[in-house]
Structure 1
Amino acid sequence: MTSSKVPALRSQIERFPIAGSFTISRGAKTEAVTVVAEVSRDGLTGRGECVPYPRYGETPEATLAAIQAMEDAVRGGLDREALQAAMKPGAARNALDCAFIDLEAKQAGLRAWSLLGRPSPGERTTAFTISLGAPETMAAAAAKAAHRPLLKIKLGGEGDAARIAAVRKAAPESELIVDANEAWAEANLEANLAACAAAGVTLVEQPLPAGRDHALARIKRPLAVCADESVHDRGSLAPLRDRYDAVNIKLDKTGGLTEALAMADAAQALGFEIMIGCMVATSLSMAPATLVTPQARFVDLDGPLLLAHDRNHGLRYDGSLVYPPESSLWG
């Protein structure tokens, strides 16, 4: 019989329908597919959720298998510090890292931020995403969301100037940030940046493909540009300093909250502004990310707002305000 003092690892794929569909330059989807890891010991269980991302060659099945491959190591006493070297950064390590933190917090009787020596996250305004579509479709969606103070607009290349102009007209008071998801080219970069500047956009995320973004260092950028697909963990920060003004930290890229917090510290030291971002997922994915919000200029944790339903004990959203998690959810 396995002793309750010996850690146990369980994991599974879970699916949550999206309200309508979610469209970016790489395509549309109608459900969020997540992988959940649970680490248990002494009657306590810590949970973590990740979203495998095909852009980085991840699938739910391979991510689940990567987590399951760690079962013997977890039973043998693998801890969160050793996990950082035992697994490569990515979605699978994120789920395990966050599960370890949740378990550690429960064992210590502390909230996760106190356990990690971080400031308590307060309520923050999160961006609300407008999916890619025709200008009139995006304008209609923006008009419905025009009461929200911060909108994130998905763009996709050809016709983006018309899209952002239409959105601005429909939501004249909202702060706008734009995410091109690598869809622009060097040939239209300056024209698209100028169109965004003319619409009063505050920030443009990942306009050029990762690895082909050197043009950003050669032009005068009329507004702040943020790296997403070009940046993953601390090791990828320094080479981007001449190209980007901000970095989007996502736990599924960093491989967990442990690296995300270290990356936020390193990014600030290099002079980057910080966005804390997310994939479309449940509140269990968002909860650990709230610990990065005290360092973030931009908060983009609207994943649960895009779902048809969230999991039980989800984060509290009051309009565009998102609040720290209750311990019944995580941490």
Structure 2
Amino acid sequence: MTTAFTLSHRRDAMAFREPFRISGYLFESMPAVVATISDGEAAGRGEAAGVYYLGDDPDHIERELEKYRARVEAGIERNELRDLMPPGGARNALDCALWELESLRKNTPVWKLAGGAPPKPLVTTFTLPAEDPAEILRRLGDLPTLKAVKLKLEGNLASDSERVRVVRAARPDAWLAVDANQGYGGDDLDGLVAMLVREKVLLLEQPVRRGQEALLDNWRSPIPLAADESIQDLVELEAQHDRFQVLNIKLDKCGGLTEALMMAERARQLGMKVMVGNMAGATLSTAPAFILAQVCDIVDLDGPWFVADDPLAASLYADGEIMVPARLWGAG
């Protein structure tokens, strides 16, 4: 017999410690919605910021939550939720809330429900904004101890080359990736990757705009290409996988941990490496992504570090690694 649920939600401001610039955007915050599903005895939580470049903001997330409230409160399973709702922030918040609720009702941690091993600390990247070189170096100095860096580009080869050069000179020991955030056109790709090879950059994320992936046809990069904006869910993975070597999975994009785990498995079958990222977000949104991170090749879960009012953030990071204790979410 299906148990009735109660759904509630709130909005959190998620102000950043400092403004953060990427190609085409300057963020001072990334507000999120926290959904809670209760069965009267236990309550599961999920946090989502949505996907800003698709119009999936907190207003949209809250409308979606209200749209599906009756169905959720009638009692719903995660597989039913995935069939009912489209990918995006609202489904992510509900899906993660259902994972935690199930873990509490069964007294079983989420990692075990997901068929995994006990989570362990993992090396994570820390991200630098697309600022001028002096500001980038200042921000680099303010980051915690790190082993891996991801640098945002702005789409101008000359200025981006200088950004990459100063970061590599400052941290010749670090694993280094760059994220173009859709900033480049086809004519600039050869020059871009030639520069990246010189600076020993090991990953290029999302060089071209979503919808313009055909620019990558018949072009092979000497370093791996990661899809972010270009692949949101399982359907787009099937359509676009042959243009990329790495898949960056974000729970806000694909609509929750349920689909994220399915995407990771399918990407492996397709010969891709798997990466996990986040749309900024505090500890609550990072915890389910950390479950996915256990089966990923590359981890980019630095979101909580940049949130101004997350009291748990500093405790998650040590020696360039992230560890999200199960007691913070989905402990069973």
Q: What is the TM-score when the length of structure 2 is the normalising length?
A: 0.94
Q: How is 1:307-326 mapped onto 2 (pairs within 5 angstroms)?
A: 307-311=307-311, 316-326=316-326
Aligned partner of 2:19 in structure 1 is 21
Aligned partner of 1:9 in structure 2 is 7
Change (3 A) 1:26 1:283: same
Aligned partner of 2:246 in structure 1 is 246
Aligned partner of 1:280 in structure 2 is 280
5+ unaligned residues in a row in structure 1: which ranges?
A: none
Quick one: distance in 2 between partners of 1:118 and 1:148? 26
8 Å contact kept, 2:50–2:279: no
Secondary structure of the equivalent of 1:248? Answer: strand
8 Å contact kept, 2:21–2:131: yes
Quick one: distance in 2 between partners of 1:223 and 1:18? 32
Quick one: which of 137, 140, 151 aligns to 2:138? 140
Quick one: distance in 2 between partners of 1:213 and 1:48? 32
Change (3 A) 1:100 1:30: same
Quick one: which of 75, 79, 87 aligns to 1:89? 87
- Higher deviation after alignment, 40-49 or 114-123: 114-123
- How large is the RMSD of aligned CA atoms in angstroms? 1.8
Secondary structure of the equivalent of 2:38? Answer: strand
Secondary structure of the equivalent of 1:279? Answer: coil
AA partner of residue 65 (structure 2): I
Secondary structure of the equivalent of 1:184? Answer: coil
8 Å contact kept, 2:23–2:154: yes
Q: How is 1:31-46 mapped onto 2 (pairs within 5 angstroms)?
A: 31-46=29-44
Aligned partner of 2:237 in structure 1 is 237
Change (3 A) 1:314 1:45: farther
Structure 1 residue 118: Cα displacement: 2.1
Change (3 A) 1:146 1:102: closer
Quick one: which of 148, 151, 172 aligns to 1:150? 148
5+ unaligned residues in a row in structure 2: which ranges?
A: none
Quick one: distance in 2 between partners of 1:88 and 1:206? 23
Aligned partner of 1:52 in structure 2 is 50
Secondary structure of the equivalent of 2:289? Answer: helix
Quick one: distance in 1 between partners of 2:80 and 2:268? 26
Q: Report the identity percentage.
A: 33
2:271 matches 1:271: yes
Quick one: which of 106, 128, 131 aligns to 2:129? 131
Aligned partner of 1:102 in structure 2 is 100
Change (3 A) 1:149 1:313: closer
Q: Which has the higher contact order (CA 8 A, sep 6+)?
A: 2
Aligned partner of 1:64 in structure 2 is 62
8 Å contact kept, 1:143–1:170: no
Secondary structure of the equivalent of 1:295? Answer: coil
Quick one: distance in 2 between partners of 1:115 and 1:315? 25
What are the superposed Cα offsets for residues 110-166 of structure 1, whole Å, 9 maximum, x if unpaired?
Answer: 100111222322110110010111123223333554951100100011121121112
